[in-house]
Amino acid sequence: MDKRFIYADNAATTKVSREVIDAMLPYFTVHYGNASSIYAMGRDAKKAIETARDKVAGALGCESREIYFTSCGSEADNWAIRGICETLSAKGKNHIITSVFEHHAILHTCQALEKKGFDVTYIPVDENGLIDPQDIKKAITPKTALVSIMYANNEIGTIQPISEIGSICKEAGVLFHTDAVQAVGHVHIDVKEQNIDLLSLSGHKIHAQKGIGALYIRKGINIPNLIFGGAQERNRRAGTENVPAIVGLGVAIEEAVKDIDARAEKITKLRNRLIDGILTLPRTRLNGDRDKRLPGNCNISIEGVEGESLLLMLDMAGICASSGSACTSGSLDPSHVLLAIGLRHEVAHGSLRLSIDESTTDEDVDYILEVLPPIVKRLRDMSPLWETINKQ
């Protein structure tokens, strides 16, 4: 088969769609006014922001005034956790519940709060990468300020029982935040039905540009600003609005939730072919639950290979993939997510994440399944450990 270029790292970031670019362009060159300005060009920009807000709210099942634009998913996560903790610590609540395998935007924020005297409970996940909601119920105390559990994991794609966790939190009178950066546009979300109080999302995972996100804050929740300054975002998040990016996010989320089921079905079929094809290699293991996972996520440990070398060889074959979270690449520490589901260090090191999207074709899957086995064989042949591993 001829060499192809295959982008299979959509969990790291996505290509900006044509629709998004076309919608954004006029806000660079025609309606480029500051949304706070009084003249028509400023009012145009303001109107475009409000239209985008309506679209984001429509996708999440909330009111537009409950959506606040941020500079990224990480900012939304930081704001949610630090904001709620600041408000509720004044009322003696200084306990946070999260999980061991959250994105670092959550984990590092919690660790920073621990240094300031907060108690954090890190809920474990099982070997399939799922949280038991009963563990959360048991961990809640009268001092719990917030439960923050990710909707879907960025590395292994597992989708958590968010509605159940939402009910538990509601019953206990504890606020519930979810980092839905990987889930938005891939699974049906309804923040009201699911009792979600705060939700973070990010544009660049759904074909909008990098550097735009949003936080849903249920009305009535008191959360101090993370960024102080002007009166943007109804006085709650200062900074001149990034109008083109906000417009793009609105279009991207609208596109993402449109035909969500048909898209998920198509991508899931391709993903299953990938998973089944790779698992025919000896000493491989699927990471994360087979069914409760994002449509495009395939994460497999391949014993006897080293993740970085695998990625480089795949790159030479025209395939963009990842061996964990892009945020941690460059570090030699094994992924905290793979360790959390019980993988040994050396197995975690040899993991491959392929995250496909609606543009992936059957031929792309055929190509990956043709190219990967000889690469694995070469790496195993070169590995001083493979013989020993294979005998175990």
Q: Which residues are catalytic?
A: 327
Q: Are the C-beta atoms of 219 and 66 separated by less than 8 Å?
A: yes
Rg (alpha carbons) of the chain, rounded to whole number: 22
CB of residue 37 vs ligand PLP: minimum separation in angstroms? 28
- Which H/E stretch holds residue 105? helix 104-115
Greatest Cα pair distance, the chain, in angstroms, is 75
Nearer to ligand PLP, 73 or 304 (CB): 73
Nearer to ligand PLP, 175 or 180 (CB): 180
Cα dist from 382 to 344, 353, 386, whole Å: 21, 22, 8
CB of residue 6 vs ligand PLP: minimum separation in angstroms? 20
CB of residue 300 vs ligand PLP: minimum separation in angstroms? 19
Of 309, 324, 315, 310, nearest to 355 by C-alpha is 324
Nearer to ligand PLP, 94 or 153 (CB): 153
Which residues sit opposite 70 in a β-bridge?
A: 213
CB of residue 356 vs ligand PLP: minimum separation in angstroms? 16
CB of residue 263 vs ligand PLP: minimum separation in angstroms? 19
Binding site for ligand PLP (CB under 6 A): 72-74, 77, 103, 105, 150, 154, 179, 181-182, 202, 204, 213, 327
Distance CA 42, CA 33 (A): 5
CA dihedral 182, 139, 79, 211 (to 10 degrees): -20
Nearer to ligand PLP, 185 or 213 (CB): 213
- Which H/E stretch holds residue 368? helix 362-382
Q: Per the structure block, which two tokens stand in for 278?
A: 């790779």
Instruction: Give me the sheet containing 297-302, strands edge to edge.
Output: 284-286, 297-302, 351-355
Chain residue at closest Cβ approach to ligand PLP: 73
CB of residue 14 vs ligand PLP: minimum separation in angstroms? 11
Q: Per the structure block, which two tokens stand in for 151?
A: 């909707």
Instruction: List CB contacts of 90: < 8 A, sequence separation 6 or more.
Output: none
CB of residue 327 vs ligand PLP: minimum separation in angstroms? 6
Strands (E), 16-142: 67-70, 95-99, 119-123
Of 311, 310, 319, 365, nearest to 5 by C-alpha is 319
Give the amino acid at 275. Answer: I
Of 386, 144, 177, nearest to 283 by C-alpha is 386
Q: Per the structure block, which two tokens stand in for 323?
A: 């061996």
Nearer to ligand PLP, 156 or 313 (CB): 156
Name the pairing type of β-strands 213-217 and 67-70: antiparallel
Of 57, 47, 56, 2, nearest to 26 by C-alpha is 47
Nearer to ligand PLP, 161 or 277 (CB): 161
Nearer to ligand PLP, 194 or 325 (CB): 325
